[in-house]
């Protein structure tokens, strides 16, 4: 059952191809969300990671988990079109098995702590019921008008 499809997600998240990594939301309540990413051979990262053994980069699995969390954070906000959810921390990330073309990545994220502008969430990513990754992510709400921090020199 799909609660939010790709068009609904595009209304909530600012990400676009090739960096929108959530295709559907299938479960959601105030403190928990489940997102789906259909991993296809056409993903641009497979051209270089690795051509003879395509594997979804772990950092993109965590990004997909963070985007799923971002949907939960932004969904209930009336002024969400003026906000960005910025990833500020990743903790306890573990990768259990490769994610390859043809896999359906299921990302379940749960709120650990939530304040006005900061949320910490823990999640697990699975393929066919097998855990492929786990991580805790912290995100911060920012106004779109704010300039991102300058890169460190």
Phi/psi for 97 (5° steps) reads -160, 155
Please tell me which residue in 32, 49, 120, 140 is annotated as part of the active site: 49
Let me know if 49 is a catalytic residue.
yes
Residue count of the chain = 153
For β-strands 83-95 and 130-143, DSSP reports them as: antiparallel
Pairing of strands 130-143, 24-29: unpaired
DSSP label of 135: E
In 30-117, beta strands by DSSP E: 32-38, 83-95, 104-114
Q: Indicate which residues carry an active-site annotation.
A: 49
């Amino acid at each position: 059952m799909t609660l939010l499809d790709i068009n609904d997600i595009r209304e909530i998240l600012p990400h676009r191809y090739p960096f929108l990594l959530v295709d559907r939301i299938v479960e959601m309540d105030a403190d928990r969300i489940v997102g789906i990413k259909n991993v296809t051979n056409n993903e641009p990262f497979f051209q270089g990671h690795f051509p003879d053994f395509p594997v979804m980069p772990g950092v993109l699995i965590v990004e997909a988990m963070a985007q799923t969390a971002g949907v939960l954070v932004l969904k209930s906000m009336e002024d969400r079109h003026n906000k960005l959810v910025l990833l500020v921390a990743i903790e306890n990330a573990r990768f259990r098995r490769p994610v390859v073309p043809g896999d359906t990545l299921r990302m379940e994220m749960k709120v650990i702590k939530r304040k006005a502008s900061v949320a910490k969430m823990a999640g697990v990513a699975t393929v066919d019921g097998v855990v492929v990754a786990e991580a805790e992510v912290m995100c911060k709400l920012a106004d779109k008008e704010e300039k991102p921090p300058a890169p460190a020199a």
